[in-house]
Chains A and B, each alone.
Chain A
Amino acid sequence: MSWRAAAGLRSWLLQRLSALYIVVFLLALASAWGGGAVSFEAWRAWVAQPLANVGLMLFVLALLGHAWVGARDVVMDYVKPVQWRYLLLVSIGLVLAGLALWSLRIVLLVSG
């Protein structure tokens, strides 16, 4: 199967792998904080740890990738006129890409 022909399979796989990572990361986050009160210093120190830092950036990418595949599926199912479909997909893609860069910048600045 060519790379293009596998596009649907790729999205399908991305959706499931990102879902698994999102759940694993949230479980790790929950076990790290356990519902207790959080101070600014402790929160920032936790995010500055290399493992948590990289884990958080991967989480951002997994979450926004998952959001993109899901939102794209919804748009393609309900928005038929091709110009609206393109406009919506481009807008959603730009917003999600912007959010990804913004989040990565936030997380990277903590470690720096």
Chain B
Amino acid sequence: MNHTTHRPVFLNLLRIRQSVMAVLSIFHRISGVLMVLALPVLVYLLSLSLRDAQGFAQAADLLQHPVVRLLLVLLGWAFTHHLLAGIRFMLLDFDIGISRAAARASAWLVLSASLLALAALFVFYWLPGVMS
């Protein structure tokens, strides 16, 4: 038995050049996991905000903290990416834009839009809060 060939077999995902669709898909997962990790904090904020006026003010104060606001920027990106990529995946489920060219184009579109949203959140939401 001699099955040895000299073709490279890259099972290491980091060594394979990924397509834009694959990048989009892994970001969909990463953004989803980020939001799941944020859930306990979000439920805590919900409970604070509805407890009494002091709790509401406490929650509002917490959301003004620069580090918390930076985390909100990250969560804002995660939500935007997850939403846009999710809409794209759902359209693909219905065979809309399923051709290779269209799927590549929509993947680039979603990826640029989510990165644009990240930049916009940083510049228009985070920076003004730190400057003031």
Contacts and interface: CB of A to CB of B under 8 A. Distances in A.
A19 B86 contact: yes
Given A23-B83, A43-B56, A95 B46 contact: no
* Chain A, interface SS category: helix
**Main SS of chain B's interface residues?**
helix
Contacts of A43: 49-50, 56
Contacts of B52: 40
Contacts of A95: 40
Contacts of A67: 32, 35-36, 39
Given A40-B56, A102-B47, A103-B43, A70 B93 contact: no
B51 to A, nearest CB: 8
B33 A99 contact: no
Given A40-B56, A43-B49, A19 B40 contact: no
Q: How large is the interface on A (under 10, 10 to 19, 20 to 34, 35 or more residues)?
A: 20 to 34
B50 A110 contact: yes
B101 interface: no
Contacts of B83: 23
B90 interface: yes
Interface string A30-58: 00000000001101100100000000000
Nearest to A95: B40
A43, A47, A67, A95: which has the most chain B beta carbons within 10 Å?
Answer: A67
A10 interface: no
B94 to A, nearest CB: 10
Nearest to A105: B47
Given A16-B93, A43-B56, A99-B43, A71 B36 contact: yes
21 contacts: A40-B56, A40-B57, A43-B50, A47-B50, A64-B39, A67-B32, A67-B35, A67-B39, A70-B29, A71-B32, A71-B36, A74-B32, A96-B39, A99-B39, A102-B43, A102-B47, A103-B43, A106-B43, A106-B46, A106-B50, A110-B50
Interface of A: 16, 19, 23, 40-41, 43-44, 47, 63-64, 67, 70-71, 74, 95-96, 99, 102-103, 106-107, 109-110
